[in-house]
Amino acid sequence: MTLHSYPGVGHAFARINGDHYDEASATLADARTLAFLCGALK
């Protein structure tokens, strides 16, 4: 299992329009999630 951390961002950083939204980290997390799911669901 791989664990990714996103230093400098708060909880719910991927929630668009949220108080802690961080576009760069959210985009990276989304891409990592999609890559994981595509690999795991083959």
Single out the residue of 21, 4, 3 nearest to residue 12, CA to CA. Answer: 21
Confidence (pTM): 0.85
Residue tagged 């795991």 (tokens): 40
Residue 42 is predicted with a pLDDT of 85
Both tokens assigned to 18: 């949220």
Spatial separation of the C-alpha atoms in residues 42 and 4, rounded to whole Å? 22
Residue 20 is predicted with a pLDDT of 95
Residue 1 is predicted with a pLDDT of 82
CA dist list (Å): 11 to 31, 35, 37, 42: 18, 22, 22, 31
pLDDT tens digit sequence for 5-39: 999 999 999 999 999 999 999 999 999 999 999 99
